[in-house]
Structure 1
Amino acid sequence: MYNRPMIYHVVPSAEWNASPDRPYAPASLAEDGFVHCSPDEATTLKIVNAFYGSATRPLFVLVLDEARLTAECVWEAADPAPPPGVSDDVLFPHVFGPLDREAVERVLVVRWDEDGRATGLADLPPAVRP
């Protein structure tokens, strides 16, 4: 796992667990033509706070080995703008096809504070693991 690019993708647990025998293809793949990912944990948390505050929980974060994806991954600027707190020069990995489950190195769960803000990522407890 070391020295290989890892990218992050946020997904509600129910969506991730819906078809465990198939590659994961979120709605953004059909709507935008790619799967939105982020380059690191800090950026992922900013994305969660900007776009997933009211998402069904638990909320998972897939840690993907970019080299094991079969779909093309292109690093691009946010369009129209990055989420609050993310610099304009940060590039985001966009995956132009479904996410191969074999590329998932870890599945993490978002930790929340009492105000409903994402504060970190943690390993899934054994009872919740897909």
Structure 2
Amino acid sequence: MTDRIIHHMCRADEWDAARPAGSYPGSSQDAQDGFIHFSTAGQVVESAAKHRAGQDGLLLLTVDADRLGAALRWEPSRGGQLFPHLYGPLPVDAVLRVDPLPLGPDGRHAFPAGFPFTLQDLVP
């Protein structure tokens, strides 16, 4: 499985703490599961609704999967779909874009304009 662009949702305070350290260790749920959860563009909207429903103050991290090496594994999860899981910290320099993920008037997360992003949108 190879989607070069993958996404992770986290709280803004978690990301703010990770940036100066150079790596993001994941959320408390990630730590409990033993890996950092990611989704492809086609999976992340459903993941937000299922796992982050009603949570405000989130960010959407857009990540270059190619920069994660062998620590990134594609494993079956919801409905047998392959999801990207990172077994180790997320290097800050692998993150191509960070966007707020506010709740919309319908209570669902409002994804940024232009989502899903193409590689051409992200890499100069």
* Fold shared per TM-score above 0.5: yes
- Choose from 81, 95, 102 the match for 1:104: 95
CA distance in 1, matches of 2:105, 2:52: 16
CA distance in 2, matches of 1:48, 1:4: 19
- Choose from 84, 97, 106 the match for 1:93: 84
1:1-130 superposed matches below 5 A:
5-22=4-21, 23-26=23-26, 27-40=28-41, 42-57=42-57, 59-69=58-68, 72-78=71-77, 82=78, 88-122=79-113
Residue segments in structure 2 that go unaligned for 5+ positions in a row: 115-124
Question: Alignment identity in percent?
Answer: 32
Residue segments in structure 1 that go unaligned for 5+ positions in a row: 83-87, 124-130
RMSD: 2.2
CA distance in 2, matches of 1:53, 1:63: 19
CA distance in 2, matches of 1:89, 1:106: 28
Runs of 4+ with deviation above 3 angstroms: none
Q: CA deviation at 1:111?
A: 4.4
How many aligned residue pairs are there? 111
CA distance in 2, matches of 1:102, 1:70: 13
* 3-state DSSP of counterpart to 1:120: coil
More helix by share: 2
* Gap change, CA 1:29 and 1:89, over 3 Å in 2: closer
